[in-house]
Structure 1
Amino acid sequence: MTIQRFVTAERDPRTRGEEIARLGAEHVRANLDGYVRLFRAVGVEDVRLREFGTQAADALAAWRPDLHAEMCGVAAGTGLTEWELGLLNARTEVLAAVGAVGEGECSTSVYLPDDGAPRGVQTWDWHDELDADRLLARYVSDRGLEVRYFTEFGMLGKIGINDAGLGLHFNILNHSSDSDPIGVPVHAVARSILDSATTIAEAVEIADSASVSASTVLTVLTYDGDRGDAACIELCPAGHAVVGPEDGLLVHTNHFVDPELARGELAPATASTYRRYKHVRSLREQVADPDPRRRAEALAVHEVDGAPVCCHPDPEMTFDQRWESLLTTALDLEHNRMWFHDGRPCGVRPETWHAF
């Protein structure tokens, strides 16, 4: 397995960042090198890298000083600068600033039973050459919540849960309002929700408080020990929208569902996101399975089946145009666990399915 695990009782954010650096400084540096290569491939000029990184770090410091302190701890422990860690955390924002709209990306599903915890599952699809340097972390936030999350080394957050019964899935979006200067990184928004939110309303308030320059959708699910709830928070510089489930099922891929925000959609009509969205919705019975592994296996749907939910890289494409399902994960709010397979849904087996 290439996913490192980090568990700490450290409550000081800068010290926690330094601990992450001690665990995987080489992984952080490798991710930065990989993203600089990606930025160059999509047309970002080298002279703008420091500018973008500095803007991201400044926006984060103004919005969440604690997360900025953790990021600076990682920087100090890896021998990198603050702006370089800002650049890494703003990888979504940098790509949005130059209009780099990708074809492949994540698919998320949440089923709400009549009683019991929501049943969430997703693929995390990204460039196949950025596969090796990933992290699962567990710690206690300033609010006293035990948080578990998955991310790329050096980035503040992505997919996760906290022990208040809140989980979060993460998908990228693209909107005509995406721009520079760089705002609060959306990965930091996801992490702040995991650190502090216990309800969907709190998650929406946190997301709305961030001045972002790029788009994302944060699918938040909650469980109070009796009943569950879920909503997609579509976020872009033009504003946010909350999309609820239809008949107990909530699906999101990589296009805006809210009709107002969809007016600024950048994904072309030929993009796979629309077919993936429709196909995952058709899998209602499978993604409603109470067994998290069976939900993950349900996403083993390929282009030949009608939609590339399980994404395989095309060796004929350049690295910036190749995507792969690098992680398959399900959130278990009832038992406060993340389940995951290190790879594509079609490779999920009992022996490859792990809890964190």
Structure 2
Amino acid sequence: MESKIPYIKVVGSYKERGFSHGSQCAEMIKKNIELCKSLCCILRKSSWEMLLRDTKRFVKSIRKYDLDLYIEMEAIAAGAGVTTEEIIFLNVHTELLNPIWNKASVNEGCTSIYVGRKRTAGNKIYLAQTWDWIHDFKEVLIILHSDDQEGHQFITITEAGIIGNMGINNKGIVVLLNFLPINELNVDGVPYHLLLRRVLESKTVLDAQCNVIRSPIAFALNIIVADSSDEVIDIELTAKGIDLHFPENDRLVHTNHLLSRRLKVREGKSTFESSVMRLETAIETLDEAEIIGIDHIKQLYSVHKKKAHEICSHLVGDIRSCTLFTVIFEQMEQELYISFGLPCENEFVKYDLKQLFN
């Protein structure tokens, strides 16, 4: 049984929340910097000085897109006792690794789902996903609860020092994400962790969509955004275009390959081998049940069907990736469930969001 992910609450202005994040997570942030530095230097076969040089190329687009988030990252650095460039590096390290991923032995990835009211017991709305990443990074995971004291709060499950990931806010907005292996990078675009953070600060799905598309993205990503009124959209984002998808049979499923025919031509040759299989498994499992409840969602992520590539991913590849955690959001009752570690071996811990957001 894995232990819980540390729960970190930050309150106040962007600067105050950043400093609190940094000071509460100082050692974890330093560990995360070392892990990311080692990973990037090995896979890119480059020096730390070269990584910092490339990190600085994103500063202009970050400041242009959202100066407040840049100020928050500066404050995280101050609180943790590291440099601003190191915190920016954490928030852009995925972009720095593109397209190196296509040369690495990474065959697993995240599986995201949405199930609407028409398919669920009690008219509930479920959004869920796995987070598959390198095993060592489990040591720097946090649950970050941010409260601006002006009526807006959000919770994101992220790594120490990173300002936005999948999560939910007190307006009912949920965002999920999936990496897309496309060999395109726009250094004038916005790193995806900042886009996710702005989605978490949105009030409606339309507001979130505007926050996503008002600036080009640096790197390919899929996001699913939904609210408590059961409005939902799936957005495939690349450096050179986007496409939208909507529910079929009141459910959405996405893994780590493009579903858009229009964008498909941009996809890399080394699309994760497991992606199509995980997509099919998730759709089949959801469609086997007439009425879906929380136990169906847990089972989807926990049960092994003895296929070549499972949704619950054990250690694989030369960089030792696996499922680090699985998260389920239920919007109507405002409940959050997290399984830290492999969901086939670890129970889901329930969090009452109504109480946390009170």
Please, what is the CA RMSD of the aligned residues? Answer: 2.2
Instruction: Tell me by how many angstroms 1:297 deviates.
Output: 2.5
Instruction: Tell me by how many angstroms 1:214 deviates.
Output: 0.8
Equivalent residue number for residue 222 of structure 1? 227
CA distance in 1, matches of 2:269, 2:86: 29
Equivalent residue number for residue 21 of structure 1? 22
Equivalent residue number for residue 340 of structure 1? 338
Amino acid corresponding to residue 27 of structure 2 in structure 1: E
CA distance in 1, matches of 2:12, 2:337: 25
Partner SS, residue 120 of structure 1: strand
Equivalent residue number for residue 276 of structure 2? 274
- Please say if residues 55 and 89 of structure 2, whose CA atoms lie closer than 8 Å, have aligned partners that are also in contact: yes
Structure 2 runs not aligned, ≥5 long = 353-358
Give CA deviations for 1:39-83 in whole Å, capped at 9, x if unaligned: 122124113211222123332121111111111111111121111
1:121 is the counterpart of 2:128: yes
Alignment of 1:66-105 (within 5 A): 66-98=68-100, 100=102, 102-105=106-109
Partner SS, residue 34 of structure 1: helix
CA distance in 1, matches of 2:89, 2:280: 34
Q: If the length of structure 1 is used for normalisation, what is the TM-score?
A: 0.89
* Cα distance, 1:210–1:246 mapped onto 2, change above 3 Å: same
Alignment of 1:175-186 (within 5 A): 175-176=182-183, 178-179=184-185, 181=187, 183-186=189-192
Residue 6 of structure 1 is aligned with which of 5, 8, 18?
8
Q: If the length of structure 2 is used for normalisation, what is the TM-score?
A: 0.89
Equivalent residue number for residue 190 of structure 1? 196
CA distance in 1, matches of 2:63, 2:245: 30
CA distance in 1, matches of 2:188, 2:141: 24
CA distance in 2, matches of 1:73, 1:231: 33
Structure 1 runs not aligned, ≥5 long = none
Amino acid corresponding to residue 19 of structure 1 in structure 2: S
* Cα distance, 1:254–1:55 mapped onto 2, change above 3 Å: same
* Cα distance, 1:286–1:92 mapped onto 2, change above 3 Å: farther
Residue 326 of structure 1 is aligned with which of 320, 324, 327?
324
* Cα distance, 1:57–1:347 mapped onto 2, change above 3 Å: farther
CA distance in 1, matches of 2:277, 2:301: 13
* Cα distance, 1:30–1:113 mapped onto 2, change above 3 Å: same
1:137 is the counterpart of 2:133: no
Partner SS, residue 223 of structure 1: coil
Alignment of 1:241-256 (within 5 A): 241-256=243-258
CA distance in 2, matches of 1:211, 1:142: 30
Equivalent residue number for residue 349 of structure 2? 353
- Please say if residues 293 and 353 of structure 1, whose CA atoms lie closer than 8 Å, have aligned partners that are also in contact: no
Residue 165 of structure 1 is aligned with which of 154, 172, 175?
172
